[in-house]
Amino acid sequence: MAQFTGRIRPAGTGDLPAITDIYNQAVRDRIATCDLSDVPVERRADWLHAHRAPYGVWVAEDEAVRGWVAISPYDPKPCFHRTATFATYVAREARGTGVGSALRTRMIREATERGFHALVNRVWSNNPASIALARKFGFREVGRMPEIVELDGGYVDCLFFELILDR
């Protein structure tokens, strides 16, 4: 198994072009995001600003940014203040090199240190790499909604995963 040897650090505004490019690769790959067309980098500045503590965005880099992870609010209602959702995206050329695992490790550590109780996320059923990564880190599949993602004239199931952090 590949081991990423770069560093993981908090994202800054200078990372927005790389973050956006990696995200737009996923848009075009049709396996990970509900956006169906590229997102402009200008839309990402407010997004990054909205991820201030206890949330956050981190990038994996060696000679370039290879991927990123964001901890985001699950729901704005007060009863969900200790539950977060997240997104992990890895550049095409860096997939399978340990970047996703390194980002997931950092994200779980940060979420735990920031006092979150649970992490939840949704994964499309046509994304075996994301499903495997969720299971590798102990996420438990807690639900499946058949055919709720409409994509290019067809439908894909959406899987829901959860990790309880403070047990």
Predicted confidence (pLDDT) per residue in 100-154, tens digit: 999 999 999 999 999 999 999 999 999 999 999 999 999 999 999 999 988 889 9
**Residue 18, H or E segment:** helix 16-29
Task: Answer whether residue 78 shows pLDDT above 70.
Answer: yes
Does the residue 34 lie in any domain? yes
CATH code of 69's domain: 3.40.630.30
Does the residue 132 lie in any domain? no
Task: Answer whether residue 71 shows pLDDT above 90.
Answer: yes
Does the residue 41 lie in any domain? yes
Does the residue 91 lie in any domain? yes
Does the residue 11 lie in any domain? yes
Q: In whole angstroms, give the CA distance from residue 90 to residue 96.
A: 9
Helix (H, G, I), strand (E, B) or coil at 47: helix
Q: Which of 21, 34, 37 is nearest to 94 (CA)?
A: 21
Task: Answer whether residue 166 shows pLDDT above 90.
Answer: no
* Burial class of residue 166 in the structure, from the number of CB atoms within 10 Å of its CB (0-12 exposed, 13-18 middle, 19+ buried): exposed
Q: Which of 111, 127, 164 is nearest to 142 (CA)?
A: 164
Does the residue 26 lie in any domain? yes
Average pLDDT estimate for 82-110: 96
**Ranked by mean pLDDT, which of 1-5, 42-46, 131-135 comes out on top?**
131-135
pLDDT score of 29: 83
pLDDT score of 27: 86
Q: How many domains does the chain have?
A: 1
Q: Distance of alpha carbon 30 from its chain centroid, rounded?
A: 15
Task: Determine what percent of the chain is predicted with pLDDT higher than 90.
Answer: 81
Does the residue 33 lie in any domain? yes
The number of residues in the chain equals 167
Does the residue 126 lie in any domain? no
Residues 6+ apart with CB under 8 A from 29: 92
Q: Which domain holds residue 27?
A: 7-119
Helix (H, G, I), strand (E, B) or coil at 129: helix
Average pLDDT, rounded, for the chain: 94
Task: Answer whether residue 31 shows pLDDT above 80.
Answer: no
Task: Answer whether residue 1 shows pLDDT above 70.
Answer: no
pLDDT score of 37: 84
Q: In whole angstroms, give the CA distance from residue 3 to residue 123.
A: 23
